[in-house]
Structure 1
Amino acid sequence: MLNIAKNLCKNAHMEDWDSYKFILAVGRHGSLSAAARSLSVNHTTVSRRITAIEEKMNVRLFDRIAKNFVPTDAGHKAIASSERIEKEVFALRREIASKDSEIAGPLQITVADQLYQTYIADIVHSFMALYPQIDITVRTASENFNLSKREADVAIRVGDQPDTHLFGRRIMRQNRCFYISDTYLSHLQATDGTIDKSTNIKFINHVEWSSTILDELKKVYPGCNEILKTDAMIVLLTAVKKGVGVSRLPCFLGESDPDLVQLPGCTPTKNKDIWALTHPDLKNVSRIRLFMQFVSDRLKNHTDIFLGKG
C-alpha cells in the first residue's frame, strides 16, 4: 500500500516543504480558484504545484472533473497526512513562540473593523509608542482568523462565550440601542419635541437579523416599517447617518458619532460581550500578555459609551 506520508517527506525537497498547504487547500475547497483564494495566490500556481507534487510522488491525487478537483484514494490519504503535518507544524510554532519572553517581535491582532476604527486604533497606537520594538500587524475581516494556526496572536472578539479551547478574558459588557440622526429626528418631531407613536418611522434592517428586532421597535412605534436591508454594518451605519432611517447599533458606534442619538422611547439592551483571546500555548508570551492587559485597561475607560450611557 502506498505510504502517502512517507512519500510526502521523502520526495519533497526542502524548498517544497509547504506542498501540503496546496494539497490541503485543493482538498478542502474542491477547485483551483477557491484554493488559490484561501492561499492568496493565483490559480495557475496551485495547478502547477499540484501537478509537480503528483509527478514527484508518481501518483494521481485528484481527478479533474469539469472545474472540480475530486480526491482519488491516494488523494484522500495525502489530505489526511497533510492535516497531520499541518497540526504538527502549528503546534511546533506555538511551542517555539511560547518560550519568547522578550518585549519585542511580531504581534498579529485581529479585530472587527468598526471596533478598530472607533477605539482600538487609538489604543494600538498608544501601545506602539510605548513598545516600539513590537512589530504589530492588524487584520480586520468578517471571518474569524484561526488562532491555532497562528493566523493571529490576539483576537478582540464580540460574543456570548469564546471558543472553549482559547484563553482570554472578558474585557467588558456592552449594550445596543436604536439610533437616529439629528436630521431625521428633527423631521419626525412635532413642535413640542415629541414623536407620534403612529409615525411611519423608516427602519434599516440587516439580512442576518430576525424579525424580532423590527417587532421590538414596533412595540414603541407601531407605525414603523422596513425601508432598507443590508448585509454590511458600514452600509447600515452610513444609511442611519444620512437620515435614511433608524436602526439598531452597538452603543459604542452610536454614542461615539456626534450626528446620532438614541431614538426617543428606546432604551439600551444587552449586546454580546467583548473578549481578548489568544491560544493557551501563547498566554505566557510577554508581548501577547502585555497587549491583552493594555487593551483591557484602556477599553474599560469607555465603559459608559459601550453601555449607552455616554
Structure 2
Amino acid sequence: MDWDKLRIFHAAAEAGSFTHAGEALGLSQSAVSRQISALETDLQVPLFHRHARGLILTEQGDVLFRTVRDVVVKLEATRTRLSDSRERPHGDLRVTTTVGIGTNWLTPRVGEFLELYPDIKLTILLSDDELDLSMREADVAIRVREPVQADIIRRRIFTMHFHAYASVAYLKRFGEPKSLEDLDNHRILTYGVLAQNYLNNINSLHFAGREPKNPRPSILTVNNISALRRAVENGVGIAVLPDYLAVADTQLVRILPQADMPELECYLAYAEEMKSVARVRVFRDFLVANAQRWDY
C-alpha cells in the first residue's frame, strides 16, 4: 500500500470530506478524490460511502482507518522523541579536558550545571592527550589552545593567567626573590611538557633574565600541574602555576609581579555535527555565561 495514498485517506476520514481533507493537505478536492479512488482500486474494496453530507467509512474503510491511525500516532510519537533528543537537554554528555583543568577548575563548577539540567548524565574524561572529537571519542572538549581542525566549532571561554608562586614556608626559609636575577639563588621547579610545545612558556622562570642558551637548572620536573602545585605548597621550590590553582590556597604567595608571565586562551570545542544537540548547547551556554567570573 502506498503511504501517500494512506495519508490522504486518513486525512479524508478525519475531515469527513474530500474538500476539507484537501484544505488540510494543500491539495485540490479532485486530487484527494482521485487518490482515494486509486487506493480503493488497489485494495479492491470500497472505503467510503459518499453522501451529499460527507463521507462515511465502510466496514473495510473503518478497519483500514484504525490501522492507519495507529501508524500515524506512532509516527508522531517518534517525531516527538527525535525532536526531544535534539531540543531537550538530556542524555549522556562526555566532556574531555586536561587533568589539571578537569581536576581543579571544571569539576568544582559542574554541580551548578547539573542542578540546572538534571536529565543530563555528565562524564568527564581527563587526559593531557587531545581526544578526537570528529571520531566521537568525546562530545565536547575544553582545550588550552585553539583547535585547528576545519570541522570543529570553537568558542573562547576564558583566559588562563599564570604567575610565579612559592609557599609561605619556602619564603621563610629561602627569602623572597625581588628581581629576576635573584632567581639564580632559588630552587626552580619545572612543568614537564614533552609533547605539548605550546605549554613550554609555563617554564618561563628558567629563562627570565637569562640567555636562552643558558637556562636556570631545575631541581624537580613534574608532568602533572596538580602535582607541581603540591610540590610548591610543600616548600620544595618556586614554579609558575595557573592562578585558578593558587587563588584559594592561603599557603601560596604570588611573587615577582614585574615578571612577564604566560597566558593561555581556553576554548570550548565540539564537532560540527553536535552543534544542534541540546545538551551540548546548554553546556556551551553555561560556560560562556559564567566565563567572566571564572576568568583567571
TM-score tier by shorter-chain length is 0.5 to 0.7
Query: Which of 208, 215, 236 lines up with 1:216 in the alignment?
Result: 208
Distance 1:164 1:251, change over 3 A: farther
Q: Give, in angstroms, the shift of residue 245 of structure 1.
A: 0.4
| Aligned counterparts of 1:283 and 1:160: Cα–Cα separation in 2 | 17
Query: Which of 138, 141, 144 lines up with 2:127 in the alignment?
Result: 141
Q: Give, in angstroms, the shift of residue 119 of structure 1.
A: 2.8
Give runs of aligned pairs for residues 279-298 of structure 1, distance below 5 A.
Answer: 279-298=271-290
| Aligned counterparts of 2:141 and 2:160: Cα–Cα separation in 1 | 17
Q: Determine the structure 1 residue equivalent to 2:105.
A: 119
Q: Give, in angstroms, the shift of residue 259 of structure 1.
A: 1.6
Query: Which of 221, 228, 238 lines up with 1:229 in the alignment?
Result: 221
Q: Give, in angstroms, the shift of residue 218 of structure 1.
A: 5.1
RMSD over equivalenced CA pairs, Å: 3.0
Q: Determine the structure 2 residue equivalent to 1:70.
A: none
* Higher Rg: 2
- Count of aligned pairs between the two proteins: 205
Q: Give, in angstroms, the shift of residue 204 of structure 1.
A: 0.7
Query: Moved runs in structure 1, 4+ residues, more than 3 A?
Result: 96-99, 160-164, 193-196, 209-213, 222-225, 264-268
Query: Which of 201, 212, 218 lines up with 2:186 in the alignment?
Result: 201
Cα distance per residue 1:53-88 (max 9 Å; x no partner):
xxxxxxxxxxxxxxxxxxxxxxxxxxxxxxxxxxxx
User: More displaced, 134-143 or 110-119?
Assistant: 110-119
Cα distance per residue 1:181-229 (max 9 Å; x no partner):
1111122338xx968937611001133347864011659xx99642112
Q: Determine the structure 2 residue equivalent to 1:71.
A: none
Give runs of aligned pairs for residues 1-310 of structure 1, distance below 5 A.
Answer: 100-189=86-175, 197=182, 200-208=185-193, 209=200, 213-216=205-208, 225-267=217-259, 269-303=261-295, 306=296
Q: Is the 8 A contact 1:181 1:260 kept in 2?
A: yes
Percent identity between the aligned chains?
A: 24
Distance 1:180 1:217, change over 3 A: farther
TM-score between the two structures when normalised by the length of structure 1: 0.58
The one-letter amino acid of 2:283's match is F
Secondary structure in structure 2 of the residue aligned to 1:122: coil
Q: Is the 8 A contact 2:186 2:238 kept in 1?
A: yes
The one-letter amino acid of 2:285's match is Q
| Aligned counterparts of 1:278 and 1:100: Cα–Cα separation in 2 | 15
Q: Give, in angstroms, the shift of residue 160 of structure 1.
A: 4.5
| Aligned counterparts of 1:194 and 1:290: Cα–Cα separation in 2 | 46
Q: Is the 8 A contact 2:99 2:224 kept in 1?
A: no
User: More displaced, 139-148 or 232-241?
Assistant: 232-241
The one-letter amino acid of 1:301's match is R
Q: Give, in angstroms, the shift of residue 161 of structure 1.
A: 4.8
The one-letter amino acid of 2:188's match is F
The one-letter amino acid of 2:270's match is T
Q: Which runs of 5+ in 2 are unaligned?
A: 1-81, 194-199
Q: Is the 8 A contact 1:207 1:231 kept in 2?
A: yes
Q: Is the 8 A contact 1:172 1:300 kept in 2?
A: yes
TM-score between the two structures when normalised by the length of structure 2: 0.61
